[in-house]
Structure 1
């Protein structure tokens, strides 16, 4: 499954034609993929500020592969890669229903943060 198709499956929308390669190459510290039988079944993008802060974006696991630890392993590898790049902090924003995944399964600590809709 290519990234556009995986993103559509994982987030429940039709493929939108996003140029993922250009977007990732321009804005990412790196990314992590999970594969099963030659198909991409998981992905996480690690963006960064060029310094101490890395950010998880677009964490997605194919619906048929959920609840098997794929997402937690993606996040663990992303954290290792961010640490290896000398990042000191890994940030993530998430919907409330993903709180158990990020806080319990992945080990993130709850923080206060702010947001402005643009």
Structure 2
């Protein structure tokens, strides 16, 4: 399986909505991802196999030195094959190229090994308010 990773490429909203629904276990929504990403993100990475979207990650930012990993998702059929790690590695590369100094991520407990071991993030103290 050959995976290609594309930074800030065109994407099909329906494909991202379907992938996001599968990955985050909710019905497909009708989000205009491309407009939202262009307005609010440093960039995004799409992973494709033979043209099929198999992974996605959004890299939001503050317009300065902080970037944030959001919505990391890999198609169920392709999990465990390194696609997620490849998505995050490309996001790290591009955030660094944009002269960001920090890349943040938050995640559920079951993803600790992925983000800490596979992707190289380190634990930090952080705070959260549910709104």
TM-score after normalising by structure 2: 0.87
Instruction: Choose the corresponding residue for 2:99, options 72, 80, 86.
Output: 86
Q: Deviations over 1:47-75 (max 9, x none)?
A: 00111100000000000000011000100
RMSD after superposition? 1.0
Is 1:111 matched up with 2:115?
no
Instruction: Choose the corresponding residue for 2:88, options 75, 80, 100.
Output: 75
Cross-structure match for 1:43? 56
Instruction: State the alpha-carbon separation in 2 of the partners of residues 17 and 55 from structure 1.
Output: 23
Unaligned runs of 5+ in 2: 1-13
Instruction: State the alpha-carbon separation in 1 of the partners of residues 25 and 71 from structure 2.
Output: 13
Aligned residues: 118
SS of structure 1 residue aligned to 2:56: strand
Cross-structure match for 1:7? 20
The offset of 1:84, in angstroms, is: 0.3
TM-score after normalising by structure 1: 0.97
Instruction: State the alpha-carbon separation in 2 of the partners of residues 23 and 14 from structure 1.
Output: 19
Instruction: State the alpha-carbon separation in 2 of the partners of residues 80 and 37 from structure 1.
Output: 23
Instruction: State the alpha-carbon separation in 2 of the partners of residues 114 and 52 from structure 1.
Output: 19
SS of structure 1 residue aligned to 2:77: helix
